[in-house]
Structure 1
């Protein structure tokens, strides 16, 4: 098939309208804001007092390969997200930062139970964040970068508040909360421990996603889909464990292809076979919230060029592109797209495709998703030179 192939560089990626489904509020603060809020609330444990140095510390810690050091980064961001004023500011800046990067729709997730140290109630946390998002949306619109931001309320796998957080998500679903999420260490903390929460959400016709298939493999994905009924998979990168190439498991085949950064672009799809679970995920169009840079830091992928997102895109899984933790990865949606363009040959058509995938998979009503696709996203890509015709 033929179509107009438009190169995807950093400038084009920044101008393109983008949709973001997997972004953690406590993983996207501005370093300068962390320093200012820490000074105001008396938090004196920051590893650096200069914004540039602090930002570098976050990136270095996330790149270190040390899980304790990686988790320490969130100790510092959460320390300055405990009052209504702090949460309001962080949420407002989140919306503004995403909008300035060309994001037109975003779902930002956070765990209300992690913001109670200064006396806020769970309801107070949600209301402060919602108010901050509305403020950020208004300021972004004034700056000429309109954006819509909704919240996902996250429960922690190792804790016991999942049903309470699910009830909170339903209570506020008409006030800026679009869904529910569960996060935390996959190994040893299966989502099936929280079946009461998922059953409640299904009874209430509410949307939810589950972190699955990042640090743990196919059993985590299977449980999230078949036992819990997840609408989407947070990450889901390990679905490739159920894919073979030339009869070899994906990981084994990839080990032999490490010397060829174009291996996932060049492999003939006739040589690829899907197992039953991978085929089910593709057949039922279960969205995959994929986060390339973050996956490198957590060793869920070898490199950007060999990240499974490129093969899964070619196989027409419901792939979406996301940031995960912008501060820790030193990234943005535009940077993720530009990295894939440089390392894996992505073009503007690919970015348009994953953007529409994300909007199709968003947790807002169908007519609102359709309006963003038809009135914002498609015209935005047409203005950049891509008319929607397939290029591959």
Structure 2
């Protein structure tokens, strides 16, 4: 039997006007995608020189400066001007600034206007996901995210890229899913090179995005320290298991973690030093002091801040995350890198899948064959 594919545009309506709050690399890339998808886009950036360059030269000189931006993309350094009249808002600021920025947006955004927070992380003080932070500050709008294996530069250049648009679905959304914010925003951002998928598992999507940065630092550390591909493959695979456990404990679905925002983003971030998380790990693994990494430049690495919040949240809900714990202990200086990874590799032998429920002492704990060459 041949199925008939109904055009999505006959069932859903894209948003016409999109505001992008945040003029960094990812905000610029997403604004470029939306403009190329035919939307009216206004991007907010704090730096007036950046705004002038986007409007007059169609480039962002501070981020992705060599990439031409669509001439239809407009910029402003006035937050109210950016979001007034917008049908949807993309919030793309560092995780530490999400709450403050959301509070500033509270009285500027019309009721019901969807907000997609395109920042990955967990708030340290509360253990809240970024969407939960925004929802606490702006209670009159649906909040979701756009997430996936997406380097900003490649996205802005138009390389084929896929991402997930996730919102919690209300009762009305389930009655008419094509009118849901997730479906409409996915349609709004879709181009010949930017492919979107729709999800109703906001927790699962966000957990994948937050934890992958921490795992990527760990992969970078082991790469920088001279370990090989077997090691990185093990960290990626077992890191994804940690993602699944935490997502499920918080009400997300394990299935989601095997998708773009989980396995896809994890694989990308752990495989390339284009990722600042992977790059930081490599430099630390090579023995470069933290203050000298990135040639001493003050580069924000989200996984560095999120390591503590991920571990703290996991402990709150009684989920064991040995890889994230290991990365956190190294970053805080609680234990040296060699000893930390040796302890990780000589943990008790466990079953895979977990339902088999086998756990045994690891003979390497006392045999002297640990990674660091010593006994426990």
TM-score > 0.5, shorter chain as reference: no
Q: Which has the higher contact order (CA 8 A, sep 6+)?
A: 1
> Structure 1 length normalisation: TM-score?
0.28
What TM-score do the two structures reach when normalised by structure 2?
A: 0.28
Which one has the largest radius of gyration? 2
